[in-house]
């Protein structure tokens, strides 16, 4: 080899290395991991960011990047083209425990403000929820201004933030585990609140001097405006009736007296005695809805004029078709069931790509999660039809045939007590090997019908399932008494009927 060839080769190698380091790492075409087939579109799914810890909210930022909160107290952004992440701010006073921590965020479209809300502890250890405004320049968040502070609790602290088309700050709050807060016009909990960007109360709020915009909410987990400016909110029900609501000025949504559609006998009198706005849709068994976003881009024609809704319990992305007036849900499609685990947040880029954040490192992960890559932000975007589907996904992969008792247990119990019956220590008691489950059946039936509370450190409660038929309760009781290591005797339909009357 000639002497001059050596440095030449060296230069060539360096150039190649530089190409791979600087250009390939910033490649635009990140690998498509799965393909979702709709009626006419094929959608590719690509991981944009991994190794996150419960990205609770994701927003499309003014710089074309995705800004996100993480539950432990940080605000960061990620470039969706390169995957490059940048930490913008950590808020040390954020108190994270179970469902508490750094939660919602919204970016003002005209002014350089972002609004975040989180839980913090007072010196006396009581929990508060704070809504704080930051002013941003390119990469800094400065001048925190506390807009509002309200009482919190060990659960049901909501929440989401949104900016209305008329530039107001919308904050949805949970009932702070006290149902009576929700209808009470004097309490800020269990409400959708509306404030000016400096925290003052707009003159055209329904109750003068009151931040309340709507009431009777249990625990709102998603907020989004449609292109017509209609506000929708997803909400967690108790043992039944998760909801999506069309939020209107001064409307009353029923909690705690009415769950879902006021279809039970014990609810009807209340629905008649005050003006009650029913949900646009309700789900029993519950699905644990989370973040929502409105879709109207032409990029995915099948999803136009729909609310995209993530869910935790059923780990799915739901596409809720709206009518032309955007005041009713006319259809529902279910995607991604279980494949990426719990889904917490969703946002849509101006050109119509959909971004979804997982929540597998939260306090209540599903079976098989978190995986190493968790938590992730994924992009869902059309791919050429000829693209080789790596892993085609079916709509509603949740529809598995299970025995009746097992199916009911999966719908109503395993979100807390888990499929293996082992629960979560300190929060949800194990039913496997549980003396009460294996003992005289009356106590077990009574707990299922009436719920139970007061024994868990974190304040978790067992919801009441009295809306289940005797046949369903019988199936659940026998399933729990015969599953895992449990070997108790079966009970009959008549037993449940009798116990219910006692």
Chain positions contacting ligand HEC, by CB under 6 A: 412-413, 415-417, 428-429, 431, 434, 436-437, 444, 447-448, 452-456, 460-463, 465, 476, 480
Q: Does residue 384 contact residue 360 with C-beta atoms inside 8 Å? A: no
Check if the beta carbon of residue 76 is closer than 8 Å to that of residue 67. yes
The 8-class DSSP code of residue 131 comes to E
| Residues contacting residue 417 through CB under 8 Å, at least 6 positions apart | 423, 428, 429, 430, 431
Closest approach, Cβ 261 to ligand HEC, in A, equals 20
Please say whether the beta carbons of 416 and 82 come within 8 A. Answer: no
- Closest approach of Cβ 450 to ligand HEC, in Å? 11
Contacts (Cβ under 8 Å, ≥6 apart) of 501: none
Query: What region, left, alpha or beta, does residue 434 occupy, with left being phi > 0 and alpha being psi -120 to 50 degrees?
Result: beta
Q: Which is nearer to ligand HEC, 117 or 362 (CB)?
A: 362
DSSP 274-326: S-----SEEESS---EEEEEEE--SSSGGGTTEEEEEESTT--EEEEEEPTTS
Q: Which is nearer to ligand HEC, 158 or 429 (CB)?
A: 429
Residue 415, φ and ψ in degrees, nearest 5: -60, -35
CB of 218 to ligand HEC, least distance (A): 13
Is the CB of residue 50 less than 8 Å from the CB of residue 309? Answer: no
Neighbouring residues of 112: CB distance < 8 A, sequence distance ≥ 6: 135, 136, 137
- Rounded to whole angstroms, how far apart are CA atoms 248 and 251? 6
What's the token pair of residue 391? 């892993």
Closest CA to 108 of 200, 174, 170: 170
Q: How far is the CB of 423 from ligand HEC (least distance, A)?
A: 8
Q: Which is nearer to ligand HEC, 334 or 444 (CB)?
A: 444
| Least distance to ligand HEC, CB of residue 472, Å | 9
Residue 192 burial by CB count (10 A; 0-12/13-18/19+): exposed, middle or buried?
Answer: buried
Minimum separation from the CB atom of position 460 to ligand HEC (A): 4
Of residues 44 and 421, the one with the C-beta less far from ligand HEC: 421
Contacts of 8 (CB under 8 A, 6+ apart): none
Q: Of 30 and 500, which has the nearer Cβ to ligand HEC?
A: 500
Residue 465 CB, shortest distance to ligand HEC, in Å, is 5
Structure tokens at 170: 């919308």
Residue closer to ligand HEC, measured from CB, 45 or 476: 476
CB-wise, 85 or 218, nearer to ligand HEC?
218
Q: Which residues contact 99 (CB under 8 A, 6 or more apart)?
A: 155, 156, 157, 362, 363
Give the torsion sign (CA, 11, 17, 22, 24). Answer: positive
Residue 287 beta carbon to ligand HEC: minimum distance, rounded to whole angstroms: 12
248 versus 461: smaller Cβ distance to ligand HEC: 461
Q: Which is nearer to ligand HEC, 188 or 405 (CB)?
A: 405
Minimum distance of ligand HEC from residue 476's CB (angstroms): 5
Min. distance of Cβ 121 from ligand HEC in angstroms?
Answer: 23
Which residue lies nearer to ligand HEC by CB, 188 or 441?
A: 441
């Amino acid at each position: 080899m000639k002497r001059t060839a050596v440095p030449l080769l060296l230069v060539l190698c360096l150039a190649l290395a530089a190409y791979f380091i600087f250009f390939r790492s910033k490649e635009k075409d990140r690998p498509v991991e799965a393909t979702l087939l709709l009626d006419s579109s094929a959608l590719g799914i690509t991981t944009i960011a991994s190794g996150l810890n419960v990205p609770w909210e994701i927003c499309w930022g003014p710089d074309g990047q995705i800004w996100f909160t993480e539950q432990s107290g940080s605000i960061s952004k990620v470039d969706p083209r390169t995957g490059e992440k940048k930490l913008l701010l950590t808020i040390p006073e954020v108190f994270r425990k179970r469902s508490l921590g750094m939660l919602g965020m919204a970016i003002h479209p005209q002014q350089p403000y972002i609004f975040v809300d989180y839980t913090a502890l007072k010196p006396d250890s009581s929990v508060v929820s704070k809504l704080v405004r930051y002013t941003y320049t390119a990469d800094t968040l400065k001048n925190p201004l506390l807009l509002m502070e309200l009482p919190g609790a060990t659960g049901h602290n909501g929440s989401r933030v949104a900016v209305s088309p008329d530039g107001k700050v919308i904050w949805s709050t949970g009932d702070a585990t006290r149902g009576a807060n929700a209808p009470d016009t004097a309490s800020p909990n269990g409400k959708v609140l509306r404030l000016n960007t400096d925290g003052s109360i707009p003159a055209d709020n329904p109750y003068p001097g009151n931040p309340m915009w709507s009431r009777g909410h249990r625990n709102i987990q998603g907020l989004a405006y449609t292109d017509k400016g209609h506000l929708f909110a997803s909400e967690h029900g108790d043992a039944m009736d998760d909801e999506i609501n069309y939020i209107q000025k001064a409307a009353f949504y029923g909690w705690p007296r009415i769950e879902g559609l006021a279809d039970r006998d014990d609810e009807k009198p209340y629905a008649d005695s005050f003006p009650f706005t029913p949900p646009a849709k309700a789900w029993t068994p519950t699905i644990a809805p989370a973040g929502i976003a409105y879709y109207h881009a032409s990029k995915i024609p099948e999803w136009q004029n729909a609310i995209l809704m993530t869910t935790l319990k059923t780990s799915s992305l739901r596409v809720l078709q709206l009518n032309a007036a955007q005041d009713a849900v006319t259809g529902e499609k279910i995607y991604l069931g279980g494949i990426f685990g719990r889904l917490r947040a969703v946002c849509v880029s101006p050109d119509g790509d959909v971004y979804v954040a997982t929540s597998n490192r939260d306090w209540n992960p599903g079976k098989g999660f978190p995986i190493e890559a968790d938590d992730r932000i994924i992009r869902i975007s059309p791919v050429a039809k000829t693209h080789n589907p790596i892993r085609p996904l079916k709509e509603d992969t949740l529809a598995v045939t299970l025995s009746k008792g097992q199916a009911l247990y999966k719908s109503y119990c395993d979100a807390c007590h888990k499929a293996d019956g082992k629960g979560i220590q300190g929060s949800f008691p194990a039913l496997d090997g549980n003396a009460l489950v294996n003992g005289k059946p009356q106590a077990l039936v009574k707990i299922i019908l009436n719920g139970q509370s007061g024994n868990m450190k974190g304040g978790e409660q067992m919801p009441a399932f009295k809306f289940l038929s005797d046949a369903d309760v019988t199936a659940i009781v026998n399933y729990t008494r015969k599953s895992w290591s449990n070997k108790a005797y079966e009970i009959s339909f008549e037993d449940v009927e009798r116990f219910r009357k006692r």
